[in-house]
Chains A and B, each alone.
Chain A
Amino acid sequence: MTPPPAAPGVLVAAWTIARKDLTVELRTRAAFLSAAVFTILAAAIFLYAWDPTAVAAIDLAPGVLWVIFTFAGLLGLNRSFGAELADRAIDGLLVAPISREAVFLGKALANLIFVLGVQVVAIPTVVLFYNLSLGWGAVAAIAGVAVLAAVGLVAVGTLFSAMAVNTRLAELLLPVLALPFFVPIVTAAAQATVLLVNGRPLTGALDWIRLLVAFDLVFVSACTVAYPFTIER
């Protein structure tokens, strides 16, 4: 007879939940495919929304990239807790012998991987459509900015997704709550990208990168602490 397994640590539990969400997504690919198609469609629409002879593509591309990224991210975030409503699956997560913080971190981790996957589609699409010529250094720097931006976006988005699915407005509420919180992220990431696509060194964008790091630190901790408060005691 085996003894009952010990309750897992926070990070192990978080990874288990993230793996569950990613497995569901890998088997259905529903959210990722729609987010990827949305990304390409939006990039194409933006291409025709401005007169390319009036505004240089290099000036448009960073803004387009980050606006698309934000909205595509919202598509995935809505599913995160929405999927747990069926058969009240969320109750199973909440009665599991793991901390509420681990539930939040697991959900956020799965969302982070999802959003980074969207970035893998979005960045090449924008580079292609806007005909940007980037060195490998700039690509790596933009990828780094994307990771920093994604962490903050996912922390806030995951928390608001958990709240929004339990309201009467459901997924309609998420953009209203989350978009103001994306303002500093989008501003910092887009401005850093402007400098990078213009061939400036990373040091020029240091202020923006500091802002992103500060945002990530503050909101990952604040949202992890806040999540248990959204659940009834």
Chain B
Amino acid sequence: MGVTMGSERSPRGHGAGDPTRGVPDGDAAGVARRAALTQLAHPFGRLFWVAVAAVIASLVRIAYFTPIEASQGPAQKIFYVHVPAAVTALYLAFALMAVASVLYLWLRDPTLDRVAASSAEVGLAFTTVVLLTGPLWAKPVWGTWWSGDARLTSTLFLWLIILGYLILRQAVEDRAQRARYSAVLAILAGLLIPFIHLSVYLFRTLHPQPIVLKPSAPSLPSEMLTTLVMSFASFALLFVALLRARYRLATIADADLADVATRSGGAD
């Protein structure tokens, strides 16, 4: 991920519609502004389209070139979207968000705040996919849209906490204050998730539900495994591409604000 982050400074796309024309060179502020404007023209970049193509290829493989599972029928194919989205959200997006937040409070580098905010937003999109595909699969297989299962409930509350995190960021104008507040919230949320999981787990063991069909961990046939691995890879790639795009937009927003602050004479 560090590689893609670093590439933000490489200028590209100096075509006819070059947005950086007219920006003075020479001083550091001018260079930063020029780089930011270059990104504005291409926040997504080639990587995004590669990732979209990879996801489409995975979806085609899931739909047409993967065998239908015997006991669950076509509904099982949701698994190839649901699980990679969940793993990407939890182990890439929210892990990155928590680590960047801890590092922010330590180093106070605005870059880390932008990384945390960007992964929160992209992680929210992936978690939304998880929460939408879960019930779609559960209805035909479990016979119910929703169950008070520990993992389901933890995911729902994680989704709500991320929404709260983004609302908090909207509600604070000062950038340093916003970064401090959101880092504190992200770290506490990291501590909370195990407690929610444990409480719902205890809740269910004390009050057993009628036994529902649970997905045992079947050893996947190689065709299905290939599809799953492909899906994982394409989702991870999409995450990196979206994160980079969101990070660039955040950089531009901060650069613009800094510019306005400088012009109005206020210190940033």
Interfacial residues, chain A to chain B (CB-CB below 8 A): 156, 159, 163, 166-169, 173, 176-177, 180-181, 183-184, 187-188, 191, 207-208, 211, 214-215, 218-219, 222-223, 226, 229-230, 232
The 8 A-B pairs of least Cβ separation, nearest first, read A167-B171, A184-B195, A184-B199, A187-B199, A169-B171, A168-B171, A176-B164, A226-B184
Interface residues of B (CB under 8 A from A): 105, 157, 160-161, 163-164, 167-168, 170-173, 176-177, 180-181, 183-185, 187-189, 191-192, 195-196, 198-200, 202-203, 206
Q: Which chain B residues lie closer than 8 Å to A167 at the CB level? A: 168, 171-172, 181
Residue contact A215 to B171, C-beta cutoff 8 Å: no
Q: Which residues of B contact A156 (CB under 8 A)?
A: 188
Bound: A176/B163 CA distance, A = 9
How many A-B contacts at CB < 8 Å in the complex? 85
With most chain B CB atoms within 10 A of its CB, the pick from A183, A188, A207 is A183
Are the CB atoms of A230 and B196 closer together than 8 Å?
no
CB-CB under 8 A from A208, the residues of chain B are: 202
Chain A, residue nearest B173 (CB): A168
Q: Tell me how far the C-beta of B181 lies from the nearest C-beta in chain A, rounded to whole angstroms.
A: 5
Among A156, A163, A222, A223, find the residue whose CB has the most chain B CB atoms closer than 10 A.
Answer: A163
Query: How many angstroms between the C-alpha atoms of A168 and B161 in the bound complex?
Result: 19
Contact of B172 among A166, A180, A184, A219 (CB under 8 A): A166
Q: In whole angstroms, how far apart are the Cα atoms of A25 and B202 in the complex?
A: 39
Residues of A near B200 (CB, < 8 A) are 187
Chain B nearest CB, measured from A215 CB (Å): 6
Excluding A163-B168, A180-B196, A229-B184, 15 further A-B contacts by CB distance (< 8 Å) are A156-B188, A163-B184, A167-B181, A173-B171, A180-B164, A183-B199, A184-B192, A187-B199, A187-B200, A191-B202, A214-B195, A219-B188, A222-B188, A222-B191, A230-B180
List, in ascending order, chain A residues with CB within 8 A of B206's CB: 191, 207
Interface pair B196/A168, CB less than 8 Å apart:
no
Taking a contact as CB atoms under 8 Å apart, the answer to whether A177 and B184 are in contact is no
Complex contacts, A232 vs chain B, CB 8 Å: 176-177, 180
Residues of chain A within 8 A of B167, CB atoms compared: 169, 173, 176
Residue of A nearest to B190 (CB): A222
Contact A183 B171 (CB under 8 A): no
Q: Give the nearest-CB partner of A156 in chain B.
A: B188
B185 partner, pick from A177, A187, A191, beta carbons under 8 A: A177
Distance (Å) between the CB of B161 and the closest chain A CB? 5
Picked from B157, B168, B177, B203, the residue with its CB within 8 Å of the CB of A180 is B157
A226/B188 contact (C-beta < 8 A), A168-B171, A173-B171, A183-B196 known = yes
Question: Taking the nearest CB of chain A, how far is it from the CB of B206, in angstroms?
Answer: 7
Please name all residues of chain B whose beta carbon is closer than 8 Å to the beta carbon of A183 when the two chains form the complex: 157, 196, 199
Q: Which residues does chain B contribute within 8 Å of A180, judged by CB atoms?
A: 157, 160-161, 164, 189, 192, 196
Instruction: Give Cα A183–Cα B153 distance, bound, in whole angstroms.
Output: 10
Residue pair B180, A184 in contact (C-beta under 8 Å): no
A156, A181, A207, A208 — most chain B CB neighbours (10 Å): A181
Give every chain B residue within 8 A of A173 (Cβ-Cβ): 167-168, 171
Complex contacts, B198 vs chain A, CB 8 Å: 184, 211
Alpha-carbon gap, A166 to B163, bound state (A)? 19
Choose one: A176, A184, A191; the contact of B196 (CB below 8 Å): A184
Complex CA distance for A173 and B167, rounded to whole angstroms: 8
CB neighbours (8 Å) of B157 from chain A are 180, 183
Assess the A230–B184 pair: CB atoms within 8 A: yes
User: Nearest Cβ in chain B — how far from A88, in angstroms?
Assistant: 16
Q: How far is the CA of A159 from the CA of B105 in the complex (A)?
A: 16
- In contact, A159 and B177 (Cβ under 8 angstroms): no
Name which residue of chain B comes closest to A187, CB basis: B199
Give 27 pairs: A residue, B residue, CB < 8 Å, sorted on A: A163-B185, A167-B172, A168-B170, A168-B172, A168-B173, A169-B167, A169-B171, A173-B171, A176-B163, A176-B167, A180-B164, A184-B192, A184-B196, A184-B198, A187-B202, A187-B203, A188-B199, A191-B202, A191-B203, A207-B202, A208-B202, A214-B195, A219-B188, A222-B188, A222-B191, A223-B188, A232-B176
A112–B39 CA distance with the chains assembled, in angstroms: 50
A207 CA to B198 CA, complexed, in Å: 10
Kindly list chain A residues whose C-beta atoms are within 8 Å of the C-beta of B203.
187, 191
